Amino acid sequence: MPEIFVTVFDVFMRTYPGFLEASVITLELTAIGVVLGTVIGLIFALMKISGSKILRGIANVYITVIRGTPLIVQIMFLYFGIVEIYTMSNFWAGAIALGVHNGAYIAEIFRGAIQGIDPGQREASLSLGMNRKQTMQRIVFPQALRRSIPPLGNQFIITLKDSSLVYIIGVAEIFSLANREAAQSYQAFESFLVVALYYLVLVMIFTFLLRLYENKLDVDKA
């Protein structure tokens, strides 16, 4: 067996307990970031398609600023901005930063899905006596949510990988431990190869679960 594989295996065996614990933190960061981002995204999507110029303007500014600046800058900005106002752990500061970042992209996902629904369905529901709120809740949003599942799943995977950036504020997630292991053992290549495998396995698991869920939706729709 080539020496590099032996070395990588040694690094894996030496560090996997810590990496497994860090994987839990990574998944928690990802889950919070996606849930918070989904709430924020839905709010701003509705603001962007509303009839109010003020609400649309606020939504456009938020989406433009977040999508136009690097996530790592947003993490640092929000982290130091939050702790100046309220004492908060670096974990929660990082999770909130991920949520705010994801909200801008999820807002566009929801906006596109909602506006992609045939306007004739809205007109038909209004003609049946539903008001605009009921039309959105009963007709438009359920269909838009179904259409949003694939891009939301992709956003989840992106968030999982983006969570590595919170190491910059001291959160002990996977990449942070890999960085520490590389510094202590002087085996940078092996340490980062191991962490790449961890991310790959997590992404593959979620991709598989997402595909199962999409297939279930297709069966239910049929």
Query: Which stretch of 50-59, 129-138, 195-204 has the lowest confidence by average pLDDT?
Result: 129-138
pLDDT confidence tier of residue 222, bands split at 50, 70 and 90: low
pLDDT digits 0-9 by tens, 19-63: 888 888 999 999 999 999 999 999 999 999 888 899 999 999 999
- Provide the 8-state DSSP code for 138: I
For the whole model, what pTM was predicted?
0.84
Q: How much of the chain exceeds pLDDT 90, in percent?
A: 34
What's the mean pLDDT in 60-76? 93
pLDDT digits 0-9 by tens, 105-127: 999 999 988 888 877 777 777 77
Q: How much of the chain exceeds pLDDT 70, in percent?
A: 94
pLDDT confidence tier of residue 211, bands split at 50, 70 and 90: confident
d(C-alpha 85, C-alpha 90), whole Å? 14
**Per-residue pLDDT, 3:** 64
Average pLDDT in the chain: 84
**Per-residue pLDDT, 39:** 95
- Cα first-last separation, the chain: 51
Residue with tokens 């938020």, as numbered in its chain = 62
Domains of the chain: 3-221 (1.10.3720.10)
Residues 6+ apart with CB under 8 A from 152: 34, 38, 106, 109
**Per-residue pLDDT, 62:** 96
**What tokens were used for 183?**
């510094």
Top mean-pLDDT range of 10-24, 96-110, 167-181: 96-110
pLDDT confidence tier of residue 179, bands split at 50, 70 and 90: confident
